A and B are shown apart, each in its own frame.
Chain A
Amino acid sequence: MKCFTQLRATAAALIDQGKLMANVDTDMIIPKQFLKTTERDGLSEGLFYDLKTRPDGSADPDFVLNRPAYQQAGILIAGDNFGCGSSREHAPWALLDQGISCIIAPSYADIFYNNCGKNGLLPIALPQAVCDALADQAGGGNMVFEIDLETQCVIGPDGVAHPFEIDPGLRDKLLTGMDDIAMSLISEADISAYEQIHQQQRPWLTPK
């Protein structure tokens, strides 16, 4: 897995009716027709598909990620409960494929949050007012944000630093980029020992 330590990048904000868009769901992030792939790459094509294209399939020039100033954005700012809905890991894959490796929002849905950590995508939770203030500065061009995971801090283009909290396990994982499976397999003896007792106590759990 890719690790995440620091990032200097421009940001794009998802705005609707003048407000940061809340409840951005996984169907919105990557609609189902893009889930038929057997690969992890190339999913940026489907990222926010219904938002970025018109019904005839042409690009909607008004959508933030279609605007030239935001095509290089490495950070996405959104409203409450980002990533709600399905468990599809295609959502973080599509964001990463687009070049976005950090999200800033007031809150996240559990499964999406978890999926981010498995892929080197940093989900930062900050209060609504801070998200709104950062969104105001997301102007593309030279409006560069600095994210430092080690010191747990976001510095906006105005130079104001905003410390953030993050789950220590997730932080470790992102900083080292280590592979969960390899780590868990270190406990192989524990798993086998558990399994043996578990099966003895509850033999009906093992299908005949």
Chain B
Amino acid sequence: MAGRTLYDKIWDQHVVSSDARTGESLLYIDLHLIHEVTTPQAFAGLRAAGRKVRRPDLTLAVADHNTPTENQALGLAGVADEAARNQLAALTQNVAEHGITFFPMGDPRNGIVHVVGPEQGRSQPGMTIVCGDSHTSTHGAFGALAHGIGTSEVEHVLATQTLRARKMQNMAINFSGRLRPGVSAKDLALHLISVIGTAGGTGAVMEFRGAAIEALSMEGRMTLCNLSIEGGARAGLIAPDATTFSYMKGRPSAPDAQAWPAAEAYWRSLYSDEDAHWDRVVDIDAAEVEPTVSWGTSPEQAIPVSGRVPRLEEMTDPNKRAATERALHYMGLESGQAIAGTPVQRVFIGSCTNSRIEDLRAVARLVSGQKVVDSVRAMIVPGSGLVRAQAEGEGLDQIFRAAGFEWREPGCSMCLGMNPDILAPGERCASTSNRNFEGRQGRGGRTHLMSPELAARAALTGVIG
């Protein structure tokens, strides 16, 4: 038999049945993460058809997308926005009705769904994980097949614990070399997307491989896999290794001491065979990656922070040129200008991309004893209540507050601005999140994606650089 990729192995392990004619398989789902925004219609569908949740124990619910980032202890009564409150109330009722474990707003275990799953040890190697959220790709960092699904699929998984899925292509992203000091997983990801484009991984599962990946911490791997969707791939994967196992150990839902040896033995079989077939291969020298920032309204519009935005006159492809012109206009930038030195008014450190403890420590190292400039409003939103508690235990909140950062309660917050944390029209934001689409952080708002380190620097200087 020909060798198999990691994706092939997980896929094969989870196929319940296949329909040769349509090419669809029924894939068993090991973990279904849910949140308030993409589930109400799914539960309504179940109710209308008189169906039950097949495996409430394999389902985990959090409230994250439209929760306010202050006064969470007040519970739903503290949510000013009526529509958001109704949606959160609907989730509360739905999980109670179906017996699903739920970490409600204010529970220290609550937080962004893609921070909570790994933190609890629910996300494990070799699993299939889905969630009605495209950044489910994050969990691929554990060597799990994890991707976003739509609400109809959420309903399907709730009812059947399976997903109708089609096998995707295998794409290898080989990162040779080592990242240089001061260059993070975020830079690596933005650089990759700027090379392959936002549709570069369409139809494929990306497996990140190579020396630079092996050297990444679990949190760095999560940042990278999180952004695979911005490179067009529904899922990213990294083979589990000693780094993965030591991260897993002792987490509440990780295998206990008795189950551990069998689990680890299985996890150790999860890698791509030498002779596996790859449909697509991309090679990147990680040592060449520089601190990178997005200048436009698509994550592929990213450049080294020392670089210049594209010059319109030099663009030959008319479609690309039109898109560039639109993006420059929206972002209020001039063709060919240097990106460094561009003033920002807001700094957002948070989101499922960069809101974990390592991200916060990196920021704290840079801002300790320093001050956020007067022209900038800067906020830090930890990814979960536990991240927040850990940061406070390490005294990071003191450093942030002393420097003039707002230290908020956990949630998606300004990543998508469904809660009150949004940009005003024309405001420019240095953001550690994952999407710089028009209006993503508020209508007319201008988002520059970057690492926590670059965002922290922008807070201290008031400019990108």
Partners in one complex: yes
Binding site for B on A (CB under 8 A): 16-23, 25, 27-28, 31-33, 35-40, 50, 55, 79-81, 84-89, 107, 109-111, 114-115, 118-119, 128, 167-169, 172, 180-181, 183-185, 187-188, 190-191, 194-195, 198, 202-208
Least distance between A147 CB and chain B CB atoms (Å): 21
Across the two chains, which residue of chain B brings its CB closest to A50? B439
Residue of B nearest to A36 (CB): B83
Interface contact B161-A195, CB-CB below 8 Å: yes
Give a binary string over B311-345; 1 marks a CB under 8 Å from any A CB, 0 the rest.
Answer: 00000001101110110000000000000000000
Q: Does the CB pair A89–B232 fall under 8 Å?
A: no
The answer to whether B433 has its CB under 8 Å from any CB of chain A is no
The interface residues of chain A lying within 8 Å CB-to-CB of B147 are 111
Nearest-CB distance from A186 to chain B (Å)? 10
Q: Which residues of chain B are within 8 angstroms of A36 by Cβ–Cβ distance?
A: 37, 66, 81, 83-84, 86-87, 418
B177 within 8 A of A: no
Interface residues on B, range: 35 or more
Most buried by A among B83, B132, B322: B322
In contact, A79 and B152 (Cβ under 8 angstroms): no
CA distance A202 to B261 in the complex (A): 11
A34 and chain B: residue at smallest CB distance: B83
B266 proximal to A (CB < 8 A): yes
> Counting CB contacts under 8 A, is B454 at the interface?
no
CB <8 Å contact, B81 and A25: no
User: What's the Cα separation between A190 and B94 when bound, in Å?
Assistant: 28
Query: How far apart are the CA atoms of A20 and B326 in the complex, in Å?
Result: 12
Minimum CB–CB distance from A76 to chain B (whole Å) comes to: 18
CA distance A35 to B440 in the complex (A): 13
Q: Which 3 A-B pairs have the closest CB atoms?
A: A169-B22, A38-B40, A36-B83
**Smallest CB separation, A48 vs chain B (Å):** 11
**11 CB-based A-B contacts, threshold 8 Å:** A25-B435, A25-B438, A36-B84, A37-B40, A81-B199, A87-B149, A89-B41, A169-B24, A203-B259, A203-B262, A205-B30
User: Given contacts A81-B199, A84-B198, A191-B161, could you give 12 more A-B pairs where the C-beta distance is less than 8 Å?
Assistant: A25-B437, A27-B438, A27-B439, A28-B438, A36-B66, A36-B81, A37-B83, A38-B86, A89-B150, A115-B152, A118-B152, A118-B153
Name the residue on A nearest B90 (C-beta): A38
Q: Is B40 touching A111 in the complex (CB atoms < 8 A)?
A: no
Please state if B253 and A207 are interface contacts (CB–CB under 8 Å): yes
In contact, A88 and B22 (Cβ under 8 angstroms): no
Query: Which residue among A19, A36, A79, A206 has the maximum number of chain B CB atoms within 10 Å of its CB?
Result: A36
Do residues A191 and B440 form an inter-chain contact, with CB atoms below 8 A? no
A89 touching B151, Cβ below 8 Å: yes
Contact in complex: B17, A109 (CB < 8 Å): no
User: Is there an interface contact between A39 and B134, defined as CB atoms closer than 8 Å?
Assistant: no
> Within B160-180, which residues are at the interface with A (CB < 8 Å)?
160-162, 164, 166, 168
A169: chain B residues at CB < 8 Å are 19, 22-24, 166
Complex-state Cα separation, A194 to B260, whole angstroms: 23
- A180 with B156, Cβ < 8 A, contacts A18-B322, A32-B416 known: yes
* Residues of A contacting B166 in the complex (Cβ-Cβ under 8 angstroms): 167, 169
Contact residue among B66, B133, B150, B416 (Cβ-Cβ distance under 8 Å from A118)? B150
Do the beta carbons of B199 and A107 come within 8 Å of each other?
Answer: yes
Per the bound structure, the CA–CA distance linking A181 and B160 in Å amounts to 7
Once bound together, how far apart are the Cα atoms of A191 and B438, in whole Å?
Answer: 43
Min CB–CB distance A88 → chain B (angstroms): 7
CA distance A46 to B456 in the complex (A): 35
Q: How far is the CA of A114 from the CA of B153 in the complex (A)?
A: 9
Give bound CA distance, A80 to B199, whole Å: 9
Q: Give, as a whole number of angstroms, the nearest-CB distance from A170 to chain B.
A: 8
For B164, what are the chain A residues with a Cβ–Cβ distance below 8 Å?
A: 180, 183-184
What residues of A have a CB within 8 angstroms of the CB of B359 in the complex? Answer: none
CB-based contact A50/B443 at 8 Å? yes
For the complex formed, measure the closest distance between the CB of B137 and the CB atoms of chain A, giving whole angstroms. 11
Judging by beta carbons under 8 Å apart, are A191 and B162 in contact? yes
Partner of B160, one of A110, A118, A191: A191
0 or 1 for each of B112-143: is its CB under 8 Å from A? (1 = yes) = 00000000001010110000111000000000
Chain B residue contacts of A180, Cβ below 8 A: 152, 156, 164
Give Cα distance in the complex from A184 to B51, angstroms: 13
* Residue among A25, A115, A202 making CB contact with B150, cutoff 8 Å: A115
CA distance A25 to B232 in the complex (A): 12
Give min CB distance, B141 to chain A, whole Å: 18
Q: Tell me the minimal C-beta distance from A66 to chain B in angstroms.
A: 17
B134 contacts A111, CB within 8 Å?
Answer: yes
Minimum CB–CB distance from B56 to chain A (whole Å) comes to 10
Structural contact, B263 and A85, CB atoms closer than 8 A: no
Interfacial chain B residues near A37, Cβ < 8 Å: 40, 83, 87
Given A38-B44, A187-B16, A204-B263, do A28 and B437 touch, yes or no (CB 8 Å)?
A: yes
- Given A50-B439, A89-B150 in contact, is the A109-B41 Cβ separation under 8 Å? no
Segment 409-465 of B: residues with Cβ below 8 Å from A: 416-418, 425, 435, 437-440, 443-444
* Alpha-carbon separation in the docked complex, A17 to B156 (Å): 41
Indicate whether B202 reaches chain A with its CB closer than 8 angstroms: yes
Q: Whose C-beta in chain B lies nearest to the C-beta of A37? A: B83
* Alpha-carbon gap, A119 to B45, bound state (A): 13
B146 proximal to A (CB < 8 A): no
Contact B16 A190 (CB under 8 A): yes
B8 within 8 A of A: no
Q: Cα distance A55–B426 when bound, in Å?
A: 11
